[in-house]
Chain A
Amino acid sequence: MTIPDQDHYELLELPRDATHEEVERAYRVARATWAENALASYSIASEAELGSLRERVEQAYRVLSDADARGAYDAALGRLRAPASYEPDLGLDDEEKDGLAPAELPAEIEVFEDLSGPEDGGWTGHALRRTRLARGLELDQINAITKVNPLYLRSIEEERFDALPASVYVRGFVAAYARCLGLDAGRVANDYLERLQAARPDRPQKRRR
């Protein structure tokens, strides 16, 4: 088992804006998962690999739990690559992105006639979750198809707007999620973004260099 190219956030399964409490919690979970006597670790990795993994968990925690070290790490990470799960910048505006043909859905994802529609006032996180369940889909399956971080998917459903990245990314995530459910991605994304922007004044956009 190898964990190639995972950064500290990915290793601990954390969003980039995770709070200190979330870091603490994720560290405890990771440490317990990969502990020497944990059942989960027996069949999937050698002792040497587990040792290396434990070291990486400790290192990730040391960096992410220290504000200064984390700031420097984030800056370095930003120079290296775009944040995990973010859509690549194709130079398209939002309308063009929404107009892209949806990816072909796996056979097990059906477009059901019984679409659990949005609530009054448009598509909400709750309505998305309800629709997902109506289709018998687990959040992990949505993650497997869309590649959107499951923590973000959950934050979308729970409308934990503060835990979500900038609107431009959220729009992409929500559109991908909606397509996965066989919904009108543009409409769902527009409805959701309206709610997000009403609840959270967006962060200033960084200028492209």
Chain B
Amino acid sequence: MSAVHEPERVARLARAILSDVMLYHAEQVRQGIEADDLFERLQPELEEARVYFESRVEADVARAVNAWNKALVDVLVFRSRHVRSRIW
């Protein structure tokens, strides 16, 4: 299995994986946004997701484009913008 190295595909993979975290843990994500403890609350799930992501991509490319962190914000946080929270 060859690692994904094109930046666009690396970013897409990160978004797809985190989109699944959101889909399968919707209530926890909502509570995490609401209480502003998203990353602590979802620590095991996000760690598992990150390990899977890193197993699939070229580490240098992922680091260079900051794909994982961008996807965390784009997917988990931005898509939860309708949730009432002190974050915003």
B2 to chain A: closest residue by CB: A114
Nearest 3 A-B pairs (CB), nearest first? A136-B12, A40-B82, A138-B19
Q: Besides A114-B1, A136-B13, A139-B23, 14 other CB < 8 A contacts? A: A38-B82, A39-B81, A40-B82, A114-B2, A133-B17, A133-B20, A133-B52, A136-B9, A136-B15, A137-B16, A138-B16, A138-B19, A139-B20, A154-B23
- Docked complex Cα distance between A114 and B9 (Å): 13
The digit string for B6-27, where 1 denotes a CB below 8 A from any CB of A, is: 0001001101110110010000
Chain B residues within 8 Å of chain A by Cβ, number: 17
Identify the interface centre among B13, B16, B52, B81: most chain A CB within 10 Å of its CB: B16
Is A140 at the interface (CB under 8 A from chain B)?
yes
Using Cβ atoms and an 8 Å threshold, which residues of chain A touch B56? 134
A137 to B1, CA, bound (A): 18
A77-127 interface with B by 8 A CB criterion? 114
Interface string of A34-46 (1 = CB under 8 A from B): 0000111000000
Q: Is the interface of B mostly helix, strand, loop or mixed?
A: helix
Indicate if B70 sits at the interface (CB-CB under 8 A). no
A residues within 8 A CB of B17?
133
Chain B residues in 8 Å Cβ range of A38:
82
User: With A114-B1, A114-B2, A133-B20 in contact, do A138 and B81 touch (Cβ < 8 Å)?
Assistant: no
Q: Which residues of B contact A138 (CB under 8 A)?
A: 15-16, 19-20
- A residues near B19, Cβ cutoff 8 Å: 138-140
What is the CB-to-nearest-CB distance from B46 to chain A, in angstroms, rounded to a whole number?
A: 15
Whole-angstrom CA separation of A136 from B17 in the bound complex: 8
Q: Is A33 part of the contact surface with B, judged by Cβ < 8 Å?
A: yes
* In contact, B81 and A136 (Cβ under 8 angstroms): no
| A132 close to B (CB within 8 Å) | yes
Closest to A153 in B: B23
Distance from A105 Cβ to chain B, minimum over Cβ atoms (Å) = 15
Q: Find chain A residues with CB under 8 A from B23 CB.
A: 139, 154
Assess whether A133 is in contact with B13, with CB atoms less than 8 Å apart. Answer: yes
Complex interface bits, B67-88 against A, C-beta within 8 A gives 1, otherwise 0: 0000000000000011110000
Complex formed: what's the CA distance from A33 to B9 in Å?
32
In the complex, which residues 126-184 of chain A have their Cβ closer than 8 Å to any Cβ of chain B? 129, 132-140, 154
Which residues does chain A contribute within 8 Å of B2, judged by CB atoms? 114
**For A133, what are the chain B residues with a Cβ–Cβ distance below 8 Å?**
13, 16-17, 20, 52
Q: Is the CB of B82 within 8 A of A132?
A: no
A135 to B17, CA, bound (A): 10
Report A182 CB to chain B, min CB distance, Å: 14
Distance in angstroms from B51 CB to nearest chain A CB is 13
> Which of A33, A135, A136, A154 gathers the greatest number of chain B CB atoms within 10 Å?
A136
Q: How far is the CA of A39 from the CA of B83 in the complex (A)?
A: 7
